[in-house]
Chains A and B, each alone.
Chain A
């Protein structure tokens, strides 16, 4: 794993675009857990999440040349690719009316499978986690249904039995808070 993923990973992507396999290994080591954790949260199946991470990193290998650092950090790129593929898969599964296992089950991992990452990663995560705790439960629920479950505003309104206007308001309020957290995290990193 590179010493400072946020700084080195852009360079790693440039090298991957030139088919540098060592760079690919470093990039994978830096971001596979993020992609896998996110995929697992959405898909709720370890096997599906691993398949998806494989697709994500094959896309990285094949399309690293399309990455533009001006449009977002590498972690945001990985998150976008993971989300796009995972939401597509979960919507397709939903259409097939397959019942997913409970979230708690999916996250019941053996001790050796759960690894706490480097100090810098943990610090960022704790900062974000703490700040997210301040978002009201109702805002968080709506944001998570949209972002992790792939539900539309109409589906969320139906699921929670609330007016669509309330869904929109909660999403906007939750996002306003998230933008504040992001700004805070940016200032801390300076």
Chain B
């Protein structure tokens, strides 16, 4: 197919209207790493942002701001990610949520600290009330694996991955939990050059209803429904 044709699909894709076989073909093409199409898609996505920016702005209720600030104050230590532009792909880990094991995790910047994270993870695994879920690598990356530790009481925990392929440009791994046979997004993460990562996990739903956890590769920023290949899966 000529690039004019791919560009045509890229433009429809940018609006979200591309469907059926056209969508599958274009996504497969994007996954080949075509930089021309990726650039063209980005240019069109950016142009489309003019539509919402042209609307007359309406202010949300001041109560929303207050509610949101209260929420982040409560979960402040929960979910810091890597600082944009930093080469480190490690994560700030929850502080306080695991008071029972009195562990404090910090942003790790080098291998030694990664080892510390690993040790901390192992300590957490032996704490009472923790549930462990093993995730196994799927076809794209069969040697990868992950473990999730979750406090049944607090519905918070931590995932550690190893052996995942380094995150490609424009992509990010996304964790899902599956309940009622439907995937629920649970956060995105990148991995370091060794496929290692840790991330905080927080479950918003009834833990008893969770059937599985899975990890897929998705566009940066994450998506509300999985669209990319599955890399890891594990049942409770």
Asked if A and B bind, the verdict is yes
18 contacts between A and B (CB under 8 A): A14-B85, A32-B59, A32-B64, A36-B58, A62-B79, A66-B222, A82-B52, A83-B16, A84-B224, A87-B16, A125-B53, A144-B51, A146-B16, A147-B16, A152-B16, A167-B17, A178-B50, A179-B43
Within 8 A of A (CB), among B1-59: 8, 11-12, 14-20, 22, 42-59
Judge whether B60 and A18 touch: CB under 8 Å.
no
Instruction: Tally A residues with Cβ within 8 Å of B.
Output: 83
Judge whether B84 and A53 touch: CB under 8 Å.
no
Instruction: Given A79-B52, A116-B57, check contact A14 B83 (CB 8 Å).
Output: yes
Judge whether A171 and B12 touch: CB under 8 Å.
yes
Determine if A2 is an interface residue (Cβ-Cβ < 8 Å): no
Complex contacts, A148 vs chain B, CB 8 Å:
51
Residues of A within 8 A of B (CB): 10, 13-14, 17-19, 21, 24-25, 28-29, 32-34, 36-38, 40-41, 49-50, 53-54, 57-59, 61-69, 71-72, 75-77, 79-85, 87-88, 107, 109, 113-117, 121, 124-125, 128-129, 132, 143-144, 146-148, 150-154, 156, 167-168, 171-172, 175, 178-179, 181-182, 185
Query: Which of B17, B58, B59, B79 makes the CB contact (< 8 A) with A151?
Result: B17
Query: Which of B52, B72, B84 makes the CB contact (< 8 A) with A41?
Result: B52
Complex contacts, B52 vs chain A, CB 8 Å:
34, 37-38, 41, 79, 82-83
Residues of B within 8 A of A (CB): 8, 11-12, 14-20, 22, 42-61, 64-65, 67-69, 71-73, 75-86, 91-92, 170, 172, 187-188, 190, 220-225
Query: Which of B69, B170, B187 makes the CB contact (< 8 A) with A25?
Result: B69
Judge whether B58 and A40 touch: CB under 8 Å.
yes
